[in-house]
Amino acid sequence: MIKKLDQYLIKRFWLVLSLSIIGFISIFIIVDLIENIDRFMDNHVPVNIIIKYYIYTLPWFINIGLPMSVLISTVFSFGTIVKDNEWTAMKASGISLYRITIPLILSGIFISACSFFLDNKLVSYGNEKRFEIDRDYVKRKSRHKTKNILKNVLLQKNISKNIVLEKYFIKDFKGLNLTLIDLKKSTIVRRIDSKKIIWNKDSLKWKLNDYSIRNFNKSGIETNTIINKEDSLISLGFEPSEIQQQAKKPDELDYYQLTNLIVKLKENSIDTIRWEVARYMKISFAFTNLVVVLFGIPLTVFKTKNSLSFGIGTSVLVIFCYYAFIKFGQTLGYNGVLIPVISAWLGNIIFTICGLLLLLKAKT
């Protein structure tokens, strides 16, 4: 009987979850298309590019819609049991509330794992591609066209190497007014200045134009200078990907890329608070799907007669409050009020405690 009950709950839960996901994705796409249709038309974006844009956006829509869908599925699947008095029959048979929550909690754990995989494999990649489309097509003729150009780029390598570029053109792999300084124990050993640099894919080196290379001894006195107006291929110790990394948003990087980036930034004594908050959010947001299951079940138990309508109505309020706490925690983390890991998990901590307390109260 218990196994059949588990199968019954899981089947109903996943059915409602599938319909909810489809519904939310449809709403997100329609709203986003209405919001962007003018920009698409003004920039004459081809239909096939628009389709690609939303294919790349689809994983992100699924990821942000999952917690809402899971909460509604929990409330609906369990609420119908309460409304049809099946819950009363279960209690009379000696089946506890905790027992029937097991299949839903296991489903929440599985969905959280899938959400983490989705976020770090498809969402980050999809965001990177749709941002590229946004830069190359949608904003090409708008006031945002400079998004394809990085200004005042500062890149630090191995603590001792400092690179400054006045401008860097992402699409053309070209930089203007380069200054590269090599330091050793706070003493300059080499300085390279160039009016223009262009990445050469064949040689994996930079082509410098109108440049100078000055070398210094241990006392900081210049020993020799090379000045050349012609083009020369020179290895500068960094690649375009390292510059473009600065143009990427946390949404474009997965958990492991963020971890590697944070390590490199810390090696160069650069503040990493915002990146650390974003990294911990990759895990905490995935676990949102489990937390809303714990929160959704008690919502249907408290109001037996109107459990379904009450639960669904309350679930909408709960999810908005949940997202508000997530953003609030992020803000505290960005401002250094809370350490990154606590700021990223603040919403989950508060709502997990509240969910467990409601579950205990519902049991009694």
Helix, strand, coil % over all residues of the chain, rounded to 5:
65, 20, 20
Per-residue pLDDT, 62: 94
Decide which of 190, 219, 237 is a domain's last residue. 237
Residues 16 and 89 in one domain: yes
**302 assigned to some structural domain:** yes
Could you tell me if residue 26 is inside a domain?
yes
51 contacts: CB under 8 Å, gap ≥ 6: none
Q: What is the pLDDT of residue 244?
A: 72
Residue 19, number of CB atoms within 10 A of its CB: 14
The mean per-residue pLDDT over the stretch 289-296 comes to 87
- Among 298, 296, 288, residue whose Cα is nearest residue 363: 298
Q: What is the spatial distance between Cα 123 and Cα 337, in angstroms, rounded to a whole number? A: 29
- pLDDT value at position 344? 92
Q: Please tell me whether residues 69 and 131 are part of one structural domain.
A: yes
**Pair (108, 35) in one structural domain:** yes
Q: What is the pLDDT of residues 62-112, one digit of tens each?
A: 999 999 899 888 888 877 777 766 767 777 777 777 777 888 889 999 999
User: Which of 47-51, 81-85, 237-241, 252-256 is predicted with the least confidence, judged by mean pLDDT?
Assistant: 81-85
Domain co-membership, 218 together with 166? yes
Task: Examine the domain organization and report whether 228 and 195 are in the same domain.
Answer: yes
Domain assignment present for 146: no
Q: Does residue 249 sit within a domain?
A: no
Tell me, yes or no, if the pTM score tops 0.75.
no
CATH number of the CATH domain containing 176: 2.60.450.10
CA distances from 222 to 17, 142, 153, 179, 190 (A): 70, 47, 26, 16, 9
Looking at the 3D structure of the chain, how many domains does it have?
2
Task: Please compute the mean of the pLDDT values over residues 146-158 and round it to a whole number.
Answer: 68
Q: Are residues 184 and 298 in the same domain?
A: no
**Could you list the residue range(s) of the whole structural domain that residue 213 is in?**
159-202+205-237
Helical pair 340-363 and 97-118, crossing angle rounded to 10 deg? 160
Q: Are residues 303 and 221 in the same domain?
A: no
Residue 74 in any domain: the answer is yes
Query: CA-CA distance, 233 to 198, in Å (whole number)?
Result: 9
Q: Which one-letter DSSP state was computed for residue 175?
A: E
In whole angstroms, give the CA distance from residue 183 to residue 308.
68
According to DSSP, the residues that pair with 45 across neighbouring strands are none
Residues 319/292, Cβ–Cβ less than 8 Å: yes
> Which of these, 105, 98, 103, lies nearest to 364 by C-alpha position?
98
pLDDT in tens, 111-121: 999 999 998 88
Residue 93 is assigned to a structural domain of this protein: yes
Task: Specify whether 168 is located in the same domain as 223.
Answer: yes
Give the model's confidence band at 143: pLDDT under 50 very low, under 70 low, under 90 confident, else very high. very low
Are residues 282 and 232 part of one domain? no
The yes-or-no verdict on residue 332 having pLDDT over 70 is: yes
Domain shared by 127 and 176, yes or no: no
Same domain, 325 and 282: yes
Q: What is the pLDDT of residues 166-212, one digit of tens each?
A: 888 888 899 999 989 888 766 788 899 999 999 998 899 999 999 99
CB 301 within 8 A of CB 331: no
Q: Are residues 165 and 97 in the same domain?
A: no
Give the model's pLDDT for residue 175: 92
